[in-house]
Amino acid sequence: MLEIQERFGSEGYEELKKAAGSAELHITEALDKGSVIGYIAYSYGAERTVVYGLDDGGDLMLCDGLVRSVMLKSVLKGIQRMLFEFDDESSFDRLRRLRFVRGDSRQCSDLDSFMNSCQSCKNNNKKE
C-alpha cells in the first residue's frame, strides 16, 4: 500500500540539504511496503515554498501525489506560491502535464485556488 509521509532527518539527502542552504529542508517520501519509491524535498518561506528535488520514478500519478501533499501543507501555512528549483527536465515535463507549471515557468501560483479547483472536479464527478 502506498503511503506518503514526511521524513524527519535528512540522512541520504545531503545534496538536497546543500541546495537548500540555510533554509530548513523538509522531505516527504512515498513508501510502498516500507520501501522508498519517491520523494519531494522542499522548504517553507514566508512567501513561497521552494522545491529542491523531486523523484517520482517517472510515475505521473506519484508526481501528482507528492506535489499535492506539499501544496496542501503550504496552503495550510498560508503560502500561495511554489517554486521548483531543480534541473531535472523530465520532472518538469510531468509538472507541465499535470498543469502545476506552464511553459518555461518554474512557479505555481495561487495554490489555494488550485487546490479548490480540484475539489470542484471531485464534486462534479459525483453529479454524473
Res 89: pLDDT: 86
**How far is the C-alpha of 70 from the C-alpha of 61, rounded, in Å?**
15
Query: Could you give all domains of the chain from N- to C-terminal order, each with its CATH number?
Result: 2-127 (3.40.630.30)
Residue keyed to cell 517554486: 83
Cell output for 94: 510531468
Res 124: pLDDT: 45
Using the predicted structure, report yes or no on whether residue 33 has a pLDDT greater than 90: yes
Res 118: pLDDT: 54
Q: Percentage of the chain with pLDDT > 90?
A: 74
Asked whether the CA dihedral 95, 78, 4, 53 is positive or negative, the reply is positive
Residue 34: C-alpha distances to residues 1, 6, 40, 82, 89 (Å)? 9, 13, 17, 28, 28
**How far is the C-alpha of 88 from the C-alpha of 90, rounded, in Å?**
6
Task: Determine contact, residues 79/67, Cβ cutoff 8 Å.
Answer: no
State pLDDT tens for residues 97-124.
999 999 999 999 888 877 776 554 444 4
Q: pTM for the whole thing?
A: 0.87
